[in-house]
Amino acid sequence: MMHWIILPVVLPALLAPIIGFVMRHDIVLARVASVAGAVLLLGVALGLTVLAADGTTHVYRLGNWPAPFGIVLVLDRLSALMVLLTAVLALIVLIHAIATGWDARGRHFHALYHFQLMGICGAFLTGDIFNLFVFFEVLLIASYGLMIHAGGKERIRAGLQYVVMNLAGSTLFLFALGTLYASVGTLNIADMAAKIPEIPVEDAGLVRVAAILLMIVFAVKAALFPVQFWLPATYANAPAPVAALFAIMTKVGAYAIIRVHTIVFGPGVASTEDLAGTWLFPAAIVTIAIGAIGVLGARRLMPLIAFSVLGSMGTLLVAVSAFSATGISAGLYYLVHSTFAAACLFLVADLVVTRRSADSLEPAPATGQNGLFAALFFAAAIAMAGMPPLSGFLGKLLVLDAMRAPGTIGWTWTAILAGSLVTILGFARAGSTLFWKSTAFPVPEPGSPAPRPASAAELAPSMSAIAMLALLAAFAGPVSAYMQDTTDQLFERDGYIFAVIGPDERVEDALEAAKEIVEEEEG
Amino acid sequence: MELIVASTVGVLTAAGVYLMLRLRTFAVILGLAMLSYAVNVFLFASGRLAIDQSPILSRYGDATYTDPLPQALVLTAIVISFGMTAVLVMIGLGAYLEAGSDRIDIDPASEDADAKDARS
């Protein structure tokens, strides 16, 4: 059995308490340990991606208990992709947080950061749905701390809303799990996938209820209409590096929908296959609309970016809602793209906003490196809005191409194309107000305190996020081929089930031994 | 017994949802606590209700036992919801001390009204 699979969970889980307890008074030591941890995590994630690339599904049995009795971690291409995405994003954001000094504005940033990474990686790797709940809670409780990092009235009030919203979501998650356990008798994803098709359609009422409840829970995480309202306030008020890290949090919800609603309730399961797509599609279309309108209406830079994240989640879930191989592989490409685009926008916005007097989209005197910030913002904005040459254009093109089925084409193409246009308008207006109108102001007198120019270390994370987008566009062919393989593996339900609960000789032995004992006692 | 358990879950959930919609920190925390009690009882019942039976198989194939798994799930859920409630209380207190108001929603109009209440 490969022990590497559990490392993305164990590494941050060990590092975070050490940083929290031992290095809490020494920010330099904590920074070094934190970056070292993030680099190690990236190394492990790369290793796991190579391991999973050949298409085998690796299973890690915790405590060596055979599934479905014990908890399993499952590594396939999809999990490996998500863990790798998390690790790359985490390193970029962490360097930004350190370079800009955000991590020193409150306590325990690095410890919470690694707990957050532990929860996210665990959620991507687990093969047990109750364990998914536990990892959701781990990542949420760390995110509560990160969300209110550095304090402030607005931030703590937005944080309170975020916590309440997610606690309600967690309760709903438990109700869904209880319903599911009562009707299926197992919480192992592979075991459920094997058992649910055996339930006759007319008896599957409770399973259908559980499927929809789970969908609502994941939709809360993915910020899907009508449970999207927490996202703009949260992202706009969180510290900018935290908001950039949260770009992966909405993807956890999207990942859970992709995983659970294809393998467990997905195509080929007569009783539940029509549920997810039917509800996901209209909700995602409305989410795109809300995101676009919000971008146009936002009066501050951070809410503007938050609404554009909302719109990108809508686009992603439209592609997922088809539950077809082309749809999900387009969705996965767009998922990777939108994570980096959102993170990049938040990081650039942080550089700009901290050098201006206010976050509002009103003309103000130009900051020191106006041209550089404008170029960065421009690059990130065209990626997010979906204009060439960066990966947003290709991502949206793939999504549009995947959604050509009659019945969905009209809504999808209208929503995505109109949404993109409105988003471009919103970003163009924001950019021209921030960067062009500001040049009309007189240059401040030499004596007045000028904002500190951004150092190379502060600019490097945003630039590397843009570089990731450019790489994603340059290597779109190989990447989308990999996404295609990932999706093929995802749709091979039997392969997944066999890998997790395939004939285990130890179970057979145990059953034999138990039978012998019974016979002896009776005989 | 099924009726009592089911109606308990229902009443607790209804009370929890009602309290959560009050939009004041204290009521919302109580409401979430109610909801978590409801879900704990619900999870416990998801392994079927059984009285006076051990959660251990006495002999293989003997069906008179109570399902141990929901008990483990409830234990996990209790620990998590307890911790979450503690965090929520701390953040709620922080928000109250920072903002001088215990409202959950961020609505400028009502915030002004609150400030007026505080002044008068």
Q: What DSSP string runs through A411-424?
A: HHHHHHHHHHHHHH
CB contact under 8 A, A141 and B84: yes
Residues of B in contact with A168 (CB under 8 A): 20, 32, 35
pLDDT of residue A449: 61
pLDDT of residue A440: 74
Of residues A315 and A503, more confidence is placed in A315
Q: β-pairing, A72-75 with A58-61?
A: antiparallel
Give the list of residues 6+ apart from residue A30 with CB closer than 8 angstroms, or none. A19, A23, A24, A103, A110, A111
Of residues A502 and B58, more confidence is placed in A502
Q: Is the bond into A444 cis (omega within 30 degrees of 0)?
A: no
Residues of B in contact with A158 (CB under 8 A): 106
Percent of chain A past pLDDT 90, that is, above it, reads: 62
Residue-wise pLDDT for A65-75, tens only, equals 887 888 999 99
- Looking at CA atoms only, how far is residue B92 from chain A in angstroms? 6
Amino acid letter, residue B104: I
CB contact under 8 A, B91 and A156: yes
pLDDT of A504 strictly over 80: no
Question: What residue segments make up the domains of chain B, in order of their start?
Answer: 2-51+66-119
Q: Count Cβ atoms within 10 A of the Cβ of residue A279 and give its class: 0-12 exposed, 13-18 middle, 19 or more buried.
A: middle
Percent of chain A past pLDDT 70, that is, above it, reads: 96
pLDDT of residue B50: 79
Domain total in chain A: 1
Average pLDDT over residues A384-393: 89
**Residue B30 forms contact with A (CB below 8 Å):** no
pLDDT of residue A1: 61
* Distance between CA atoms of residues A453 and B62, nearest Å: 75
How many other CB atoms sit within 10 Å of the CB of residue B87?
Answer: 15
Comparing CB atoms, the residue among A130, A163, A182 nearest residue B91 is A163
Residues of A in contact with B73 (CB under 8 A): 130, 177-178, 181, 187
Element (H, E) at A322: none
CB A315 within 8 A of CB A416: yes
Average pLDDT over residues A313-322: 93
**Residue A181 forms contact with B (CB below 8 Å):** yes
pLDDT of A505 strictly over 60: no
Q: Which domain holds residue A367?
A: 274-440+455-475
**Residues β-bridged to residue B80:** none
Q: What is the rounded end-to-end Cα distance, in angstroms, of chain A?
A: 40
A408-430: b (≥16 Cβ within 10 Å) or e: beebbeebbeebbebbbebbeeb
**Residue A403 forms contact with B (CB below 8 Å):** no
pLDDT of residue B112: 46
Average pLDDT over residues A399-410: 89
* Distance between CA atoms of residues A339 and A250, nearest Å: 9
Of the residues B90, B98, B103, B105, the best mutation for testing chain A's interface (the one with the most A CB atoms within 10 Å of its CB) is B98
* Distance between CA atoms of residues A259 and A274, nearest Å: 16
Residue A200, domain member (yes or no): no
pLDDT of residue B111: 47
Residue A394, domain member (yes or no): yes
The CB-based long-range contact list for B9-14 (8 Å cut-off, 24+ gap) reads B9/B38, B9/B41, B9/B42, B9/B45, B12/B37, B12/B38, B12/B41, B13/B38
CB contact under 8 A, B91 and A159: yes
Lowest-confidence range among A12-21, A129-138, A188-197, A365-374? A365-374
Query: Helix or strand or coil: residue B113?
Result: helix
CB contact under 8 A, B106 and A161: yes
The DSSP 8-state label assigned to residue A61 in this structure reads E
Q: Is the bond into A389 cis (omega within 30 degrees of 0)?
A: yes
Q: pLDDT by residue for chain B (120 residues), tens digit each?
A: 889 999 999 999 999 999 998 878 899 999 999 999 999 999 988 888 877 777 776 666 666 778 888 889 999 999 999 999 999 999 899 888 888 888 877 665 444 444 455 444
pLDDT of residue A202: 85
Distance of CA A76 to the CA centre of its chain: 17
pLDDT of A29 strictly over 90: yes
The CB-based long-range contact list for A17-20 (8 Å cut-off, 24+ gap) reads A17/A111, A19/A110, A19/A111, A19/A114, A20/A108, A20/A111
Comparing CB atoms, the residue among A157, A168, A517 nearest residue B95 is A157
Q: Is the bond into A68 cis (omega within 30 degrees of 0)?
A: yes
Its pTM stands at: 0.91
- Looking at CA atoms only, how far is residue B50 from chain A in angstroms? 14
pLDDT of A445 strictly over 70: no
> What is the rounded average pLDDT for all residues in chain B?
82
pLDDT of A178 strictly over 70: yes
**Residues β-bridged to residue B119:** none
A495 token code pair? 């392969």
Residue A265, domain member (yes or no): no
**Residue A521 forms contact with B (CB below 8 Å):** yes
Instruction: Find the length of chain A.
Output: 523
CATH number of B2-51+66-119: 1.10.287
pLDDT of A460 strictly over 80: yes
Count how many pairs of residues, chain A against chain B, have C-beta atoms within 8 Å.
103
Comparing CB atoms, the residue among A154, A156, A177 nearest residue B94 is A156
Residue A7, domain member (yes or no): no
**Residue A158 forms contact with B (CB below 8 Å):** yes
pLDDT of A423 strictly over 50: yes
Amino acid letter, residue A12: P
Q: Is the bond into A282 cis (omega within 30 degrees of 0)?
A: no
pLDDT of residue A448: 58
Q: Is the ipTM of this complex over 0.90?
A: no
CA distances from A489 to A55, A117, A190, A379 (A): 7, 25, 14, 34
